[in-house]
């Protein structure tokens, strides 16, 4: 399976987070979750071993793109890689995400095989 640092999964839907974390744990992937962009920034502060963030684009307090921009500004010395997941993003949102340095955009519901492929394609 994937041999990487722990993942941070960010989404404002608790049931969705639980489902993804359970599926990843079943495959032996260490992952943490954050229910918001602000909580994700706190998690990144607390866990310097996290280098891959999978985030929803649309969240109420801080959208996924703002999370990417904030994390890049605060943790510029870390090799953070971002993958966004969305069920509602417009082409403008996806273009903004790519401009912010997001490596991949995946549709919801998230297919774990697609996530694994996206992670394997990240630069080391």
Q: Beta 52-56 vs 81-86: how paired, if at all?
A: parallel
Over the stretch 12-71, which tens digit does the pLDDT of each residue have?
999 999 999 999 999 889 999 999 999 999 999 999 999 999 999 999 899 999 999 999
Domains along the chain with CATH numbers: 7-120 (3.40.50.2300)
Residue 118 reports pLDDT greater than 70: yes
Q: What is the pLDDT of residue 35?
A: 96
Helices (H), the chain: 14-26, 37-46, 64-74, 91-99, 112-120
- Rounded Cα gap, residues 80 and 50, in angstroms: 8
pLDDT > 70 fraction of the chain, expressed in percent and rounded: 96
Task: Count each helix (H run) and each strand (E run) in the chain, helices first.
Answer: 5, 5
- Say how many C-beta atoms besides its own lie within 10 A of residue 107's C-beta: 11
**pLDDT of amino acid 1:** 40
């Amino acid at each position: 399976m994937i041999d990487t640092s722990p993942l941070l999964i960010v989404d404002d839907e608790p049931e969705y987070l639980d489902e993804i974390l359970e599926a990843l744990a079943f495959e032996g992937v260490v992952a943490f979750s954050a229910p918001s962009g602000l909580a994700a920034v706190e998690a990144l502060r607390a866990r310097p071993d996290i280098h891959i963030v999978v985030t929803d684009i649309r969240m109420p307090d801080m959208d996924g793109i703002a999370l990417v921009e904030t994390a890049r500004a605060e943790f510029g010395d870390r090799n953070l890689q971002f993958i966004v997941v969305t069920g509602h993003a417009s082409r403008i949102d996806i273009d903004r995400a790519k401009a912010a340095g997001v490596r991949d955009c995946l549709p919801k519901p998230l297919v774990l095989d697609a996530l694994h492929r996206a992670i394997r394609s990240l630069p080391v």
